Amino acid sequence: MPDLAELVEQHPELRLRPVSTDEIHAFNGTTWTEEPGAYEWWEVSALDATGSGLLCSLHCGNAFDPAYRRHVRQLRAGRFVEPALGRKSATAAIRVALFDHGRLVARSHIRIDPNTVKETAVAAGWSLRFGSNTFAADEDGWRLQLDVPRTVTGLRSVVSRSILAGGRIKVDLRIQPRFHTPTFWRGFLPDSPSGASHDWLPACPCASVTGTIEWAGGKGGAEKIELINADGSVDHFRGSGPIGEGIRRYYVARVAWPGGAAIGELIVIRKYIQLAPSLMIFTADEPPRIIRGDRTPRADFQRSAWLLGYPLSLGWLSEREGIVVEHEMDRLADASPYRTAAISRCRVQIDSAAREVRLEDHPGLVQLIQPPRIDGFPWRWWCGPVEAGGR
pLDDT of 325: 92
Helices (H), the chain: 2-10, 24-28, 66-76, 156-159, 379-383
- Tens digits of residue pLDDT in 298-351: 556 666 655 666 777 888 888 777 889 999 987 776 656 677 888 999 999 988
Q: Report CA 358 to chain centroid distance, whole Å.
A: 25
Give 357's DSSP letter. E
Q: Which residues contact 370 (CB under 8 A, 6 or more apart)?
A: 244, 248, 249, 250, 308, 337, 338, 339, 340
- Cβ-contact 293, 351 below 8 angstroms: no
Q: Is the pLDDT of residue 79 over 90?
A: no
236 Cβ contact partners less than 8 Å away, ≥ 6 residues apart: 27, 28, 40, 41, 42, 43, 200, 201, 203
pLDDT over 50 at 78, yes or no: yes
For residue 204, the model assigns a pLDDT of 93
pLDDT per position as a tens digit, 140-183 = 899 999 999 988 765 554 455 556 677 899 999 999 999 988 88
C-alpha closest to that of 126 among 138, 134, 141, 143: 138
The rounded percent of the chain whose pLDDT value lies above 90 is 31
Indicate yes or no: pTM above 0.75: yes
- Mean pLDDT score of the chain: 81
Alpha helices in 11-139 (DSSP H): 24-28, 66-76
95 has pLDDT over 70: yes
pLDDT of 107 > 50? The answer is yes
Residue 196: pLDDT above 90? no
Does pLDDT of 18 surpass 90?
no
> Residue 323 contacts by C-beta under 8 Å, 6 or more apart in sequence?
279, 281, 291, 293, 316, 317, 349, 350, 351
What is the C-alpha separation between 357 and 371, in angstroms, rounded?
35
pLDDT above 80: residue 38? yes
